[in-house]
Structure formats: structure tokens, C-alpha cells
Chains A and B, each alone.
Chain A
Amino acid sequence: MDSKFLKIRNDFPILNQKINNERLVYLDNAATSQKPQAVIDEIVRYYQNDNANTHRSVHTLGERATEEYEAARGKVQRFINAKESREIIFTQGTTDSLNLVASTYGEENISAGDEIVVSYMEHHSNLIPWQQLALRKHAILKYIELTNDGRLDMDDAQKKITDKTKVVAIAHVSNVLGVTNDIKKMAQIAHIHNAVMVIDGAQAVPNQPVDVQALDADFYAFSGHKMLGPMGIGVLYGKNNLLNKMSPYQYGGEMINFVEKYQSTWADIPWKFEAGTQNVAGAIGLGKAIDYLTEIGMQNIANYEQKLVEYALPKLLNIPEITVYGPHSPKLHNGVISFNLKGLHPHDLATALDMDGVAVRAGHHCAQPLMKYLNVVATARASFYIYNTVDDVDQLIYAIQDAKEFFKV
């Protein structure tokens, strides 16, 4: 199986280049993934052959575009095992999906004194929409604590979620700490208290099998661009009974049923939430990315990335000046590894690694409350995807040693 993964790199034209005269090792996958030729070709094919506006044109191209767009919805449905395809709403991405939930479900169901529960490891996009909603509604925003090794403190979750809690919003996989949270358990706790469970799946869906029914998720958000798809397309899954009761997010074309001078009725879900001309090429490209991932198998991908972590983590921990955030046991760690080199700011480190062809992220990773919680200003972050190999890990370690020597730290 691994031999198959070694060839995957060839499917990604962008990886076939040198950066600063070195082989490009792209380890910023948690920010965005690269795109295989198959996805690039699919978008070109759509624009060359089938482009038209969906749902409004009677002509042949309009029919094709509509059919392909809805077929992409079906692929997403099967990919995350939603019960029905109308539970899949296309959005611009995770941020857009989470804002949609906060400004529709949240706006309608949160009142003064209610609680919204998040955790310290949330990305700003699963934090600020809730923080601002809480401010508008005079609701209470509560944070679930983390354990010393950076996992969700489930005991604290039991305490923080109460009968006053209306929404529990948690990342499935942290984009900094590399942990997978026990979402199923969280959803059980939330549901005991009649709260809805909102899941930020941006870092989970690209890297492991996700089954929204098995998790009993009420809302589940993710982005296409982190899973080989194009930028500007994402998904919000919502349980049909919840989506049906919610008001539209935006108003305009496509999302209506009948419009009269002083009132309107809304289209059925999912179209009620898809106002205006949609990112059809994006949805079709995402559909192709799903085909590509499905062909490899999500469990195979999870296993392969686990092997990379098992290889990389001990090597990083072996460098005495390196601090790794999140659990140190590879079993508890996904392919997102945040670290710092003692005595060197992560920005300087990232510039040095780039000179050796290695692309990592440095900064606060859109998780400023978490940085404060960890008591760091910023970290470097290496994140793996299907085209990375142990050679890439070796080049990363080599580059870190190089930086260490250069800066004499």
C-alpha cells in the first residue's frame, strides 16, 4: 500500500518544482492542500464543455451544469454518510459554514443568559462567530479546558455543558495540537442537555473517514481546499429537521419559492441556503477530489498519515531544543505537528526552512486564545498529506538542523 503513496506526488504538478534550488517539500497542508491534475482537469473540462448557470436555464448546458452540481452534492453526502443529499449545503468554506449556523440557528435560538460552549483549541472561525453572537444576545461563552498534553478535558466538558447550554461548538481535529476530539462523546453530552452539536471538521474530513450520522452531529462544517479541492467551496451538513426550521442566511436569487411585492416564501433545503449564483465549478472540482480520495480510501489515508507521524514525531522530539505542542505519543497525534525551536522565533525558522525547500507555517494559526493558553506567541507547524513521504520528513529534520547551526541555537 505504501508504494502507492510514494507515486501520489506525481499526480500533483505543483510539487514538481524546486524552491530555492531544493526539492519542494510542502508541509503546510493544514492551511491548504495542493491539487491533483485530475481536479485541475475537471474544472477546465467543466468550463470548456458544460458551463451555464444552474437551476435557471432550460437549455442543454444549463441542464448539464445543474446535473453535475447536484451530482457533486450526492458525492459529498456519501462521503460523510449524510442520510439525505438535501442535508448538504454548499458554502464558501468552513468559515462561511460556521457563520451560517451562528447567524441563523444561533440568532434564532440563543437568548440572554443562555450558554454557548467552545474549547480553548478552536480556530478563530469556530470562535468569533460564537463570541460575537454571545455579545449580541448577552449569552455566556464558556471554554472547555485542555489537559496538560493538549487534549480536550472531557471531565471539564461534563461540567461546562449544562441545561442552559444551547450550542456546543468544537473542532473535530485541532489545527494546532494535532488531536482528534471525541466528538461522539461530546455530542452525547450536548444532547443530554438538549444542546446542538456543531463540529468544525476542517482538519478531519481531509484526513480520516467521517460519518456524520455515527457522530450524531447536528451541524458539521468543512472546506474543499484542504482536501484537494479548489478554494472557495465548502460544505455545511445539517440535520434536515434543523435546517428546515431555520431562516435563510442570505436573500436573493435561487433561494426563493414565490416572491410577491411584500412577502416571499423560501425554496426547500438545501437551496434555501444557497442564494445567488453558486460556485458550480468549485463544487464539481470538490466532487472530483472526493472521487480521488475515495479511490485511495480514507482509512488508508489515515493509516498512512499515522505512519508518517510515527516516523516524524520521535525524530522531532529527539532534537533537544525542540518543543512539540500537543500529545507526544504518535498514537494520539494526527499529521499536524506544532513545534518551536528554543531561542529562535518561528518566523525566522520558517524563513530558514524555506531556503531548504521546506514549506511550513509559522504564526498563531488563527488560534490566538490557544496560543495564550499554551503561553507562546507563535509556533511553527508542519502538516502532512497523502503526497508527503518519509523523505520529506528527513528533509524537514535536516533543514531544522541546518537552521540550528546557522542561528547557533
Chain B
Amino acid sequence: MSLSGLNSLYREVILDHSEHPHHKKNLKQATSKVTLKNPTCGDVINLELNLVDGKIADIGFTGEGCTISQSSASMMTDVVLGKTTEDGLEMAQIFSEMVMGQKRSAADLKKLGDAAILSSVMQFPARIKCATLCWWALRKSLGENVDD
């Protein structure tokens, strides 16, 4: 028996982010606070943003969840920090399509930074929601209509 199949999902980068998540904090000043839950597993994310002049000037998250959800949130906060609302929403769209197995160009995937590595989650359909929860929180924070 072997867990080598897990290597594609639990890459070093992902384990690092989950062990030492970036931007896992509350913000002193936030223009939006959003809480989303994954009712099937109980995972929770609280995402805080500080939007200044249409840009994500600061971002932080708290909450509980599995390795995938924690590292996804950590990688997301890295890559969207400093970006405009439009850029953030575009990235969320690229990420969603990527994990659902839809083809996106290499240039698009590059925009996701580290987060692109989570494309491997599509081989584990039961875990896709773990990866997307934070991105849905971002969409909601940036004013998109999201059902929670």
C-alpha cells in the first residue's frame, strides 16, 4: 500500500501554506467582513478586506478547516493583495474553472501565483469545495452576489 497518490494533492507548497498560513489574522481596519461555511464538513472562513481606491490594500482570514482549505486561503491572500476588485474577481473565476477541470491558458493560470498548484484538487472531487471556499468568500467580499 502506498500514499504516493496523495503527493499530487498534498505538495510541499500546500503543506507549507497550511502549516504556516499567510495573512491569518484579523484586520485593524476592514471595509468588509464575510463569513462562509461549508455545511458538509463544518469548515468556516472569515475573510476581511480593506479596500482603498478600488484596491485590496489589506486582507486577512481566520477560521478552521482542513489542509486544503487553509492553504488555499493562504495562497489566495498572497496573490490578491494589492489587486483591484476586477482583478480579484477575474482570478476567482479562473480558479473556479481550473479546479472544475476547465482549460484555462497558461497566462491565466500564472495570474494565480502559488494557488495554481491546487489544480490537482480536481482529481479529488470530494475536496474541490475545500479549495474554493475562500475564493467564494472573496467574491462575496468584492460585491458579487454569492449564495452561502
- B67 close to A (CB within 8 Å): yes
Q: Which of A7-15, A192-200, A325-333, A349-357 contacts its partner? A: A349-357
- B126 close to A (CB within 8 Å): yes
- A187 close to B (CB within 8 Å): no
Q: Which of B3-11, B25-33, B103-111 contacts its partner? A: B3-11
Q: A362-B41, A407-B10 are in contact. Are A355 and B5 (CB under 8 A)?
A: yes
What is the bound-complex CA distance between A405 and B15, given in angstroms? 14
Q: A345-B66, A347-B130, A398-B1 are in contact. Are A355 and B42 (CB under 8 A)?
A: no
In the complex, number of A-B residue pairs with CB atoms less than 8 Å apart:
60
Query: Which of A355, A362, A368, A405 gathers the greatest number of chain B CB atoms within 10 Å?
Result: A355
Q: Is the CB of B42 within 8 A of A348?
A: no
- A319 close to B (CB within 8 Å): no
Q: Which of A352, A377, A402 is within 8 Å of B43, CB to CB?
A: A377
- B65 close to A (CB within 8 Å): yes
- A129 close to B (CB within 8 Å): no
* Proximity bits, B93-127, A CB within 8 Å = 1, else 0: 00000000000000000000000000000001011
Q: A345-B65, A345-B67, A347-B66 are in contact. Are A363 and B5 (CB under 8 A)?
A: no
Q: Is the CB of B3 within 8 A of A352?
A: yes
Chain B residue, CB-CB nearest to A350: B126
Q: Least Cβ distance of A96 to chain B in Å?
A: 21
Range of interface residues on B (Cβ < 8 Å): 20 to 34
Q: Is the CB of A347 within 8 A of B3?
A: no
- A123 close to B (CB within 8 Å): no
Chain B residues contacting A399 (CB-CB under 8 Å) are 1
Chain A residues contacting B10 (CB-CB under 8 Å) are 348, 406-407
Chain A residue, CB-CB nearest to B1: A356
Chain A residues contacting B67 (CB-CB under 8 Å) are 344-345, 348, 407
Q: Is the CB of B41 within 8 A of A363?
A: yes
Q: A362-B41, A363-B41, A364-B41 are in contact. Are A355 and B66 (CB under 8 A)?
A: no
**Interface members, chain B 34-55 (any A CB < 8 Å):** 40-44
Chain A residues contacting B130 (CB-CB under 8 Å) are 347
Chain B residue, CB-CB nearest to A356: B1
- A378 close to B (CB within 8 Å): yes
What is the bound-complex CA distance between A399 and B41, given in angstroms? 21
Q: A345-B66, A377-B43 are in contact. Are A351 and B1 (CB under 8 A)?
A: no
What is the bound-complex CA distance between A364 and B2, given in angstroms? 28
Q: Is the CB of A364 within 8 A of B42?
A: yes
Chain B residues contacting A40 (CB-CB under 8 Å) are none
Chain B residues contacting A406 (CB-CB under 8 Å) are 3, 6, 10
Chain A residues contacting B56 (CB-CB under 8 Å) are none
Question: Which applies to chain A's interface (DSSP): helix, strand, loop or mixed?
Answer: helix
Q: Least Cβ distance of B49 to chain A in Å?
A: 24
Chain B residues contacting A357 (CB-CB under 8 Å) are 1
What is the bound-complex CA distance between A378 and B41, given in angstroms? 7
Q: Least Cβ distance of B37 to chain A in Å?
A: 10
Q: Least Cβ distance of A400 to chain B in Å?
A: 11
- B68 close to A (CB within 8 Å): yes
**Interface members, chain A 327-381 (any B CB < 8 Å):** 344-348, 351-352, 355-357, 362-364, 368, 371, 377-378
Chain A residue, CB-CB nearest to B9: A351
Q: Least Cβ distance of A179 to chain B in Å?
A: 22
Q: A345-B65, A347-B130, A398-B1 are in contact. Are A355 and B41 (CB under 8 A)?
A: no
- A57 close to B (CB within 8 Å): no
Chain B residues contacting A355 (CB-CB under 8 Å) are 2-3, 5-6
- B148 close to A (CB within 8 Å): no
Q: Is the CB of A352 within 8 A of B41?
A: no
Q: Least Cβ distance of A110 to chain B in Å?
A: 28
Chain A residue, CB-CB nearest to B63: A377
Q: Is the CB of A402 within 8 A of B3?
A: yes
Chain B residue, CB-CB nearest to A343: B19
Could you give 10 example pairs across A and B, Cβ below 8 Å? A347-B41, A351-B124, A352-B3, A352-B6, A355-B2, A357-B1, A363-B41, A364-B42, A368-B42, A377-B44
Q: Interface of A with B (CB < 8 Å)?
A: 20, 22, 344-348, 351-352, 355-357, 362-364, 368, 371, 377-378, 398-399, 402-403, 405-407
Which 4 interchain pairs have the tightest Cβ spacing?
A345-B66, A347-B66, A406-B3, A364-B42
Q: Interface of B with A (CB < 8 Å)?
A: 1-3, 5-6, 9-10, 15, 40-44, 64-68, 124, 126-127, 130
Q: Other CB < 8 Å A-B pairs besides A347-B130, A348-B67, 7 of them?
A: A345-B67, A348-B10, A351-B126, A352-B3, A355-B3, A357-B1, A406-B3
